[in-house]
Amino acid sequence: MDASLTLLILDLVGVYFFAVSGSLLAARQRFDLVGSLLLACVAGLGGGVVRDLVLGAGPPVVFTQPLYLVPPVVAVVTVYFISASVRRYNRLLVVFDAAGLALFCVSGTLIGLNAHQHPVAAALLGVTTAVGGGLLRDVIANVTPTLFDQREFYAIPAFVGAALTVAAESAGLLQGVAAIVIAALVFGLRVAGRRLRWSIPLASRNVVD
Amino acid sequence: MDASLTLLILDLVGVYFFAVSGSLLAARQRFDLVGSLLLACVAGLGGGVVRDLVLGAGPPVVFTQPLYLVPPVVAVVTVYFISASVRRYNRLLVVFDAAGLALFCVSGTLIGLNAHQHPVAAALLGVTTAVGGGLLRDVIANVTPTLFDQREFYAIPAFVGAALTVAAESAGLLQGVAAIVIAALVFGLRVAGRRLRWSIPLASRNVVD
Amino acid sequence: MDASLTLLILDLVGVYFFAVSGSLLAARQRFDLVGSLLLACVAGLGGGVVRDLVLGAGPPVVFTQPLYLVPPVVAVVTVYFISASVRRYNRLLVVFDAAGLALFCVSGTLIGLNAHQHPVAAALLGVTTAVGGGLLRDVIANVTPTLFDQREFYAIPAFVGAALTVAAESAGLLQGVAAIVIAALVFGLRVAGRRLRWSIPLASRNVVD
């Protein structure tokens, strides 16, 4: 399987996972099916649109390859048939969001490197892609972004994944295998960090009320 | 009247309608005149800026044709002189928002087709243009987006209008007449759907609390 | 010192001031250090990313010059070591936000002029750059944008600064000196307007409840 096909599959699967997170949020907020589709599109495709606008190499891929519209539609159908409690939605949302984050920080970085960006820019692009869709999803649905939630361990795994992708690429490791190993690691970090309540110091050493 | 002039007029009138919706929201939220102008610009010009960034053919049209700044200024003046109750603001807001939606899903799709996008991409661009300005307006003013409001019938009319525009164009119908008929239909669908309380199934078949 | 170096320094200092405003907001909202870094990046770099996307001349400068990542990191460290009360955070936030606004409306306009935009477009770009980062910061942190806060005098100084920059440039005044004088004036206007409670008429002459 060649590198660009691997990358396309990684990217589409990432779109699906984030799109499910968008539809789950729509279900939890009791939006209707159209709201579900729109939030699936924003969550699944938002990060990639920002990435492609930044790269500036023509229209974002979703506008040139309608194939990218399939995962959001499948996500809406998937979520429609899940019967669950609000509590279970939240748990599912974290898992799908983590999977999307894992795949996008890798695929976003690789797309940046393939577009001949220098390594720091490519890693930054990977983090932007990974964090962007979920951030847009939360801002648009008017909930506090997961990104700023103290109980979550969100951006660090994406930074780690983007940095490892740059390192693996410059070490000449095979893209396909390395990509999946790194994505699995990012997913594990995100989920473990949440479960084990890893926390990061507050933004200020000392806030006096 | 040639096609590009028709398109320019449609687009400017759409900018005006959405700009009025922005200023009405500013009035309802008791923002000042500067807030009114900014919300008029975001609502009226936001969808088109996103559309032009996606097309990637140079700076968005508002930055190259200062003519586009006229409708928001006129909208601010219009709203300043409307004396109304909060209740009546909400009713006016729906009408102007519907008119903007109707014109933008048509003009956005036509601009996409004129830029040689394939039909699905052009329709998607039309929906993005139509829905984008109102979404940015609501997110920035920190109110729940109309797009996700159960009582509204919002995105479906935009999808229908974009699809009909693609169909009319490929059938070789005259742009000017077809555009106005489709826009009127989208407006009617949006307003009728709201009045008759058409509703769409929820995002999930079964949410248990 | 040549003009482009002056411009780079003005822009980097503006990034630092806005980045501090982002980190201060993160501290006030009790986000962690990663949230502080992200909000510093959004506030400091967001306006410039939008500006560069609009100009459409390749990837935004932050992705091509990693130097731009330094001010947000320094801002996070700065804020971490400030011990202050919530009340004092708000006061500091206004000062840093005003300084960023002052520098960005000048540097954004100059960058627009250097990219051969016509004067109105360049001024609009300056205002967008100046107002954009703070707006993204507030929307993402889910607080009411400072831009719409009645007690603030926010957008007018940015408009004045952008207009004066266009005027100074077309009068052939030295960029470096003129830029600093204009920025100081914008800063003064913003801070004085707030202190002296200058207010602007409401968006509507008459809202009846």
Tokens encoding B41: 């610009």
The mean pLDDT value for C125-129 works out to 93
Of C144, C200, C205, the CB nearest to B34: C200
Round the average pLDDT of chain B to a whole number and report it.
Answer: 88
Which of the residues C49, C63, C89, C144 would you substitute to probe the A interface, choosing the one with the greatest number of A C-beta atoms within 10 Å? Answer: C63
Residue A18 near residue A97, CB atoms below 8 Å:
yes
Nearest residue of B to residue C208, measured between CA atoms = B85
Question: How far apart are alpha carbons A174 and A182 in whole angstroms?
Answer: 12
Q: Is C199 on the interface with B (CB under 8 A)?
A: yes
Chain B: nearest CA to A160, how far in angstroms? 30
Res A187 pLDDT > 90: yes
- Residue A50's alpha-carbon distances to A6, A56, A130, in angstroms, are 21, 10, 10
Question: How far apart are alpha carbons A19 and A105 in whole angstroms?
Answer: 16
The mean pLDDT value for A167-181 works out to 84
The residue length of chain A stands at: 209
Nearest residue of C to residue A123, measured between CA atoms = C63
Q: Which of B34, B50, B42 is nearest to B15 (CA)?
A: B42
Tokens encoding C59: 């990837």
Backbone angles phi, psi at B85, to 5 degrees: -85, 160
Complete DSSP assignment for C68-134: GGHHHHHHHHHHHT--EEHHHHHHHHHHHHHHHHHHHHHHHHHHHHHTT--HHHHHHHHHHHHHHHH
Tokens encoding B40: 């008029």
The mean pLDDT value for C61-67 works out to 88
Q: How far is CA B180 from the centre of its chain?
A: 15
With contacts defined as CB-CB under 8 Å, which chain A residues touch C31? 148, 150, 202-203
The mean pLDDT value for B146-153 works out to 80
Residue entry with tokens 């990034």? C15
Q: Is B33 on the interface with C (CB under 8 A)?
A: yes
Q: Is C58 on the interface with B (CB under 8 A)?
A: no
Tokens encoding A101: 């984050």
The mean pLDDT value for A199-203 works out to 81
Q: Which of A75, A66, A179 is nearest to A126 (CA)?
A: A179
- Sign of the C-alpha dihedral, residues C3, C6, C8, C14? negative
Q: What is the ipTM of this complex?
A: 0.83
pLDDT more than 90, % of chain B: 48
CB-CB under 8 Å, B84 with C203: no
CB-based burial label for C107 (10 Å; 0-12, 13-18, 19+): buried
Res B208 pLDDT > 70: no
pLDDT category at C208 given cuts 50, 70, 90 is low
pLDDT category at A181 given cuts 50, 70, 90 is very high
pLDDT: is B183 or A196 the higher one? B183
Backbone angles phi, psi at C147, to 5 degrees: -55, -35
pLDDT category at B154 given cuts 50, 70, 90 is confident
pLDDT: is B149 or A2 the higher one? B149
- CA end-to-end span of chain C, whole Å? 59
Q: What is the pLDDT of residue C178?
A: 86
Question: How far apart are alpha carbons A107 and A129 in whole angstroms?
Answer: 9
Q: What is the pLDDT of residue C98?
A: 94
pLDDT: is C87 or B37 the higher one? B37
pLDDT more than 70, % of chain A: 95
Residue B136 near residue B43, CB atoms below 8 Å:
yes
Q: What is the pLDDT of residue B126?
A: 94
CB-CB under 8 Å, C204 with B83: yes
Q: State pLDDT tens for residues C97-118.
A: 999 999 999 999 999 999 888 8
Domain limits, chain C: 3-195
Of A35, A62, A140, the CB nearest to B203: A35
CB-CB under 8 Å, A84 with B124: no
Cα three-residue angle A17-C138-A62, rounded to 5 degrees: 35
| Touching subunits for chain A (3+ Cβ pairs under 8 A) | B, C
DSSP label at A65?
-
Q: How far is CA B183 from the centre of its chain?
A: 11
Which residues pair with residue B85 across a beta bridge?
C208
Backbone angles phi, psi at C84, to 5 degrees: -155, 165
What are the residues whose beta carbons fall under 8 Å from the beta carbon of A200, sequence distance 6 or more? A153, A156, C32, C33, C34
Q: What is the pLDDT of residue A174?
A: 65
Which of the residues A137, A147, A148, A166 would you substitute to probe the C interface, choosing the one with the greatest number of C C-beta atoms within 10 Å? Answer: A148
Q: State pLDDT tens for residues B26-85.
A: 988 888 898 899 999 999 999 999 999 988 877 888 888 889 999 999 999 999 988 677
Res A208 pLDDT > 80: no
Backbone angles phi, psi at B165, to 5 degrees: -65, -45
Highest mean predicted confidence (pLDDT) among A155-159, B145-149, B205-209, C80-84: A155-159
Res C131 pLDDT > 80: yes
CB-CB under 8 Å, B86 with C209: yes
DSSP label at C208?
E
Res B108 pLDDT > 90: yes
The mean pLDDT value for C60-76 works out to 91
CB-CB under 8 Å, B202 with A33: yes
Nearest residue of B to residue A80, measured between CA atoms = B204
Of B131, B203, B208, the CB nearest to A79: B203
Q: State pLDDT tens for residues A59-85.
A: 888 888 889 999 999 999 999 988 677
Q: Which of B75, B58, B64, B68 is nearest to B24 (CA)?
A: B75
Nearest residue of B to residue A78, measured between CA atoms = B204
Of A53, A86, A140, the CB nearest to B207: A86
Half-sphere exposure of A96 (CA within 13 A, CB side): 26
Residue C162 near residue C105, CB atoms below 8 Å:
yes
Q: What is the pLDDT of residue B16?
A: 96
CB-CB under 8 Å, A117 with C29: no
Nearest residue of B to residue A33, measured between CA atoms = B203
Complete DSSP assignment for chain B: --HHHHHHHHHHHHHHHHHHHHHHHHHHTT-BHHHHHHHHHHHHHHHHHHHHHHHTSSS-HHHH-GGGGHHHHHHHHHHHT--EEHHHHHHHHHHHHHHHHHHHHHHHHHHHHHTT--HHHHHHHHHHHHHHHHHHHHHHTTS--GGG-TT---HHHHHHHHHHHHHHHHTT--HHHHHHHHHHHHHHHHHHHHHTT----BSSS-EE-
Res B112 pLDDT > 70: yes
Q: Is B46 on the interface with C (CB under 8 A)?
A: no
Q: Which of A70, A100, A137 is nearest to A10 (CA)?
A: A100
Res B3 pLDDT > 80: no
Q: What is the pLDDT of residue B188?
A: 95
Q: Which of B60, B58, B19 is nearest to B41 (CA)?
A: B19
The mean pLDDT value for C129-150 works out to 87
Res B23 pLDDT > 60: yes
Indicate the Cα dihedral angle A7, A13, A18, A19, nearest 10°: 120
Chain B: nearest CA to A80, how far in angstroms? 4
Res B21 pLDDT > 90: yes
| Touching subunits for chain C (3+ Cβ pairs under 8 A) | A, B
In C134-193, the residues whose Cβ lies within 8 Å of chain B are 135, 139, 142, 144-145, 147-148, 150, 154-156
Q: How far is CA C199 from the centre of its chain?
A: 21
Q: Which of C66, C185, C178, C64 is nearest to C113 (CA)?
A: C178
Question: How far apart are alpha carbons C62 and C73 in whole angstroms?
Answer: 13
With contacts defined as CB-CB under 8 Å, which chain A residues touch B54? 49, 53, 59-60, 63
With contacts defined as CB-CB under 8 Å, which chain A residues touch C62? 124
The mean pLDDT value for A120-124 works out to 91
Q: What is the pLDDT of residue A108?
A: 93
What are the residues whose beta carbons fall under 8 Å from the beta carbon of B209, sequence distance 6 or more? A85, A86
